[in-house]
Amino acid sequence: MSNLIINAFFLIYAGLFPIVNPVGSAPIFLGLTQQSTGAERHGLAARVAINGFLLLLGSLFVGSYLLEFFGITIPVVRIGGGFVVVAFGWKLLNEPGALTEHHPEGDGQASEPIDSFYPLTMPLTIGPGSISTAITLGSQRPEVSGDVLNLALVGAGAVAGLIAIATTIYFCYRFADRIVSALGASGTNVFIRLSAFIMLCIGIQIVWNGYSALSRP
């Protein structure tokens, strides 16, 4: 029984972590929340982690059924989501001003509210690649002989994997300032611009992969 939980846990965590990549997204998160206070940024990190967990949970367990109901294929999801990533990457790449000036802990300055779902949760943290991967993992669940208990164990392991992903997101974003502090202001700004360009390229690649899958005979 424990093997079912462990296998499901590592299947989900190992399959999603490289795509979600919260470590690489942390500097971008810090740049997008530059006008927020330390307390506000910590709250955003928690909300993004919760949003990401719920989004992946829905994709894992009901995503394939929803796509089937609406007659949507995963390649189409990749194309549509890829365009979202391209648009976001382009916007971030051309963001005016320094992206690294942020308020220190507890400075008390007022700031413009930033939505925790868009763009912080989607597409920055949970993009079309993560969603399509979660849907694919959910549609390819291992055979467990139809035993209700075994199915519950596999589900528990999968949920534990998602919780681990969400926890990793929270800690990477919660301590994003420490992650980038060693780079300095100019170094972090360069890293954010480079990450935005990579995100733009990833979006184009996602669109191309979706198109290639649709055009395949």
The CA–CA distances, whole Å, from 170 to 78, 134, 140 equal 26, 19, 28
Residue numbers of the domain that contains 182: 2-215
- Return the structure tokens found at 209: 């992969």
From the CB of residue 29, how many other CB atoms can be counted at a distance below 10 Å?
25
Q: What is the pLDDT of residue 112?
A: 59
pLDDT in tens, 191-213: 777 777 877 887 788 788 888 88
Of 49-63, 96-110, 147-161, 190-204, least confident by mean pLDDT is 96-110
108-126 pLDDT, tens digit each: 444 556 889 988 999 889 9
Q: Please compute the mean of the pLDDT values over residues 174-187 and round it to a whole number.
A: 77
- Number of domains observed in the structure of the chain: 1
Q: In the prediction, which pLDDT does 3 show?
A: 84
88: exposed, middle or buried (Cβ count in 10 Å: 0-12, 13-18, 19+): buried
% the chain with pLDDT above 90: 23
